[in-house]
Amino acid sequence: MKSFEEKELKRLYKPMVQTKGGNGQITIIGGSFLFHGAPILSLKTASRVVDMVFFTSPEPSIGKIAQHLKSKLFSFIWFPFDQIDEYIEKSDAILIGPGLMRYHKKISNFKFPVSSRLDEAGLETKKITERLLSEFPQKQWVIDAGSLQVMDKKFIPKDAILTPNQKEFVMLFGGEKPQVTAKKHDCIIVFKNAVTEIFSAQESSLIEGGNNGLIKGGTGDV
């Protein structure tokens, strides 16, 4: 496994045309009545580097929080969830999962199939996640948190970026090795830790220089 070097940052995507909106558009889907802070962290970070940030949630009350935040952070657009397909169509990338509901109660036994562990809240997140992934597989997806915990792995789009913690990885893939999983599903897996591990179908890398603070909840949302 090779170490990621700072000079490789220059290989990151840069828009061909430097115009308004030329630095990309992203849609963020997340938040619930229980987890309303997670997508806000994602929103703040994306607003610093992406030209157009669109934000929505299946939980209507998140809209009030977004409108309050917009008075301090102007570089995003909140839209009603029933317009989700329209905004995905015009986005370059979509982040789904931060703050979406998994279960109303904490689950400690992960040996049973996902479908048998979910309550109404988890089933709704599963339905939303799998529908959008299957209807827009050509988009660049980043799948996080709530969506990872409830979805079926057969819905993972090609080249999707998955950001599981250890528990979420086991819930979705069982005892598979991350490198095997990345090749099988042609995706990218990012394990956040003091040393972050990244696995793709072609290679694996280490990003050093972090610390144990990367284990803290919310760092994946950023």
Q: Identify the band that residue 120 occupies on the pLDDT scale cut at 50, 70 and 90.
A: confident
Average pLDDT estimate for 115-134: 88
CB burial string 155-178: b at 16+ within 10 A, e below: bbbebbbbbbbeebbebbbeeeeb
Average pLDDT estimate for 27-38: 87
Which domains does the chain carry? Answer: 26-191 (3.40.1190.20)
Q: Identify the band that residue 84 occupies on the pLDDT scale cut at 50, 70 and 90.
A: very high
Over residues 90-118, the pLDDT tens digits come to 999 999 999 998 875 555 554 545 555 67
Burial of residue 17 (CB within 10 Å: 0-12, 13-18, 19+) is exposed
Q: Identify the band that residue 219 occupies on the pLDDT scale cut at 50, 70 and 90.
A: low
Q: Which of 170-174, 196-200, 208-212 has the lowest mean pLDDT?
A: 208-212
Q: How far apart are CA 191 and CA 207, in angstroms?
A: 10
pTM score, whole prediction: 0.87
